[in-house]
């Protein structure tokens, strides 16, 4: 949370008749007290908000203001994830310009460890063809079992990876498992596998091959992260999933959701052109 966010909050709190003290971008005891008073009027009240630290209550207050303007911040939980980041940016822009901005890419650029989409064939070799060539692939064992999206009773314990990305995928799966644990991965539906290697064209394209045709892309939980859904609907845009994406991005992988606000199910070892 930046000083501009706190200034915005102080301005709004004063306009609502609370007393946040001077509008100085600093969260002091008077601002904290005003935030507390404002939050107490929220319906429904977020669970446990009384014992949250003041900073978390301030974030919750910004989330509530965004929601009041029709901008979806995700759940009012006081946690700063990509959805809140988007909502607060939109909220401040709305105040400044009177307009709701489109999604913009708010991530720090991931390290450039993988080629761009245009360079993929030069780096990874030819893509797979249905009933023909198959790229060199490795089965990377997963530390938690995946349920298959189209048949949830069926599980599998690995992901197919292009041999050049297999070590990276293995590290990523280990880190994700360490961070969340198997139970939470299940509860968050991060154990729902919706695709790895697939020799097919990009959805909606007549000529461009999907990154899945090189076995350098994965889809998770497609039913709750539809292709054309934005961060307001996609489950993987919620704050709970921020560590999941940061683990992929630390290895240079690209989330289409985080960079383009579409296809939130998808992650790939290729940068966007
Ligand atoms: Zn995909």
**What's the CA-to-centroid distance between 70 and ligand 1, angstroms?**
30
**What's the CA-to-centroid distance between 267 and ligand 1, angstroms?**
7
- pLDDT for the residue 161: 98
Percent above pLDDT 90 for the chain: 72
pLDDT band at 102 (very low <50, low <70, confident <90, very high): low
**What's the CA-to-centroid distance between 42 and ligand 1, angstroms?**
39
Residue 241 CA: distances (Å) to CA of 6, 23, 46, 79, 183: 25, 33, 20, 12, 15
pLDDT at 106 over 60: no
Q: What is the pLDDT of residues 54-95, one digit of tens each?
A: 999 999 999 999 988 888 888 899 998 877 888 898 888 888
**What's the CA-to-centroid distance between 236 and ligand 1, angstroms?**
13
- pLDDT for the residue 227: 92
> Burial code of 55-76, b = ≥16 C-beta within 10 A, e = fewer?
ebbbbbbbbbbbbeeebbbbbb
pLDDT higher at 172 or 260: 172
Burial tier of 200 (Cβ tally within 10 Å: 0-12, 13-18, 19+): middle
**What's the CA-to-centroid distance between 125 and ligand 1, angstroms?**
19
**What's the CA-to-centroid distance between 173 and ligand 1, angstroms?**
17
Percent above pLDDT 70 for the chain: 96
**What's the CA-to-centroid distance between 25 and ligand 1, angstroms?**
42
Q: What is the pLDDT of residues 4-18, one digit of tens each?
A: 999 999 999 999 999
pLDDT at 160 over 60: yes
* Residue 161: strand pairing partners: 138
Q: What is the pLDDT of residues 19-52, one digit of tens each?
A: 999 999 999 999 999 999 999 987 878 889 999 9
- Phi, psi of 191, rounded to the nearest 5 degrees: -100, 10
pLDDT at 2 over 60: yes
- pLDDT for the residue 267: 98
**What's the CA-to-centroid distance between 218 and ligand 1, angstroms?**
6
**What's the CA-to-centroid distance between 17 and ligand 1, angstroms?**
49
**What's the CA-to-centroid distance between 265 and ligand 1, angstroms?**
7
- pLDDT for the residue 86: 81
Find the angle CA(160)-CA(176)-CA(269) to the nearest 5 degrees.
45
**What's the CA-to-centroid distance between 220 and ligand 1, angstroms?**
8
**What's the CA-to-centroid distance between 157 and ligand 1, angstroms?**
19
Which residues are found with C-beta within 5 Å of the ion, ligand 1?
219, 266
């Amino acid at each position: 949370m930046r000083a501009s966010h706190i200034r915005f909050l102080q301005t709004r709190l004063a306009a609502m008749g609370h007393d946040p003290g001077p509008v100085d971008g600093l969260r002091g005891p008077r601002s904290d007290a005003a935030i507390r008073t404002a939050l107490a009027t929220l319906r429904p009240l977020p669970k446990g908000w009384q014992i949250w630290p003041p900073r978390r209550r301030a974030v919750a207050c910004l989330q509530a203001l965004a929601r009041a303007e029709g901008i979806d911040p995700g759940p009012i939980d006081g946690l700063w994830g990509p959805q809140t980041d988007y909502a607060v940016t939109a909220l401040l822009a709305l105040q400044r310009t009177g307009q709701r901005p489109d999604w913009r890419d708010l991530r720090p650029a991931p390290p450039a460890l993988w080629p761009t989409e245009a360079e993929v064939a030069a780096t990874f070799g030819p893509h797979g063809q249905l009933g023909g060539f198959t790229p060199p692939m490795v089965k990377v064992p997963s530390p938690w079992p995946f349920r298959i999206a189209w048949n949830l009773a069926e599980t599998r314990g690995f992901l197919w990876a292009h041999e050049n990305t297999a070590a990276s995928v293995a590290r990523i799966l280990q880190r994700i498992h360490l961070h969340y644990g198997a139970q939470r991965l299940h509860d968050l539906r991060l154990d729902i596998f919706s695709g790895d290697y697939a020799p097919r064209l990009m959805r909606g394209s007549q000529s461009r091959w999907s990154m899945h045709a090189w076995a350098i892309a994965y889809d998770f939980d497609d039913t709750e992260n539809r292709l054309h859904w934005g961060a307001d609907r996609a489950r993987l845009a919620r704050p709970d999933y921020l560590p999941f994406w940061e683990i992929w991005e630390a290895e240079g992988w690209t989330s289409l959701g985080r960079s383009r606000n579409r296809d939130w199910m998808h992650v790939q070892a290729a940068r966007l052109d």
